[in-house]
Each structure stands twice: as structure tokens, then as C-alpha cells.
Amino acid sequence: MDFYFLLFSLFVPRIVLLAYFLLFPQLYPANFVPQWADILLGILFPRVLILIYIYQNMGYENPWFWTHLLVAILAYFTGGWRSYVWRVNRYNDEITNV
């Protein structure tokens, strides 16, 4: 697998999947995932799809697999920008109501 695919997919997985599919098809990871699952996972859960690619091409003993797994867990369970804003607003409301 391409180093830049692995690196950039940590931060913007959907964009990397789309860019590599359209611009660099020869560097797109080889996989045994059906086409319908590629599309569905690429839209709904791109980090899971990238984890599948890494597992199929490099195995689960590779540091990239564990790095991507950790980032996926953090991204899905800690939330995004809206969760951060909600937490800050909630904290500020608690301070002003005291």
C-alpha cells in the first residue's frame, strides 16, 4: 500500500478514498471487498473500509493497522466539532449558573 494513502487517510479518509479511486487507480489498494460494499462503506464508514484494506494487504500485526484502529475509535467515540462545541457550551453554562 502507498505510504501517502495510509498517512492522509488518517485525517481525511473519504477524500483520500475518492482521490485515489479517481486520480490514482493504479495505487488504489487491492482488495476482495465487493463493489457494493466498497461504495457503502466508503460513504458511511470510510475508516472501517481502510482498516479492511490494511488488514487484507498488510495484516493486523502492522503498526498502520493499530494506528488507524486507534484513530477510528477516537473519531467515532469522542465525536467531532459539534460534540466539542456542545461540551464547551455545557461547561460555560454550568459556570454561569453557579
With CA atoms as reference, report the closest residue to 2 among 61, 54, 48.
54
Q: How distant, in Å, are the alpha carbons of 20, 81, 82, 87, 95 from that of 92?
A: 42, 17, 15, 9, 5
Q: Is the pLDDT of residue 12 over 80?
A: yes
> Is the pTM for the entire model greater than 0.75?
yes
* pLDDT 10s digits, 55-76: 999 999 999 999 999 999 988 8
pLDDT, greater one: 77 or 5: 5
* Residue that is written with C-alpha cell 495484516 in the block: 59
How far apart are alpha carbons 92 and 30 in whole angstroms? 49
Q: Domain ranges for the chain, please list them.
A: 3-96
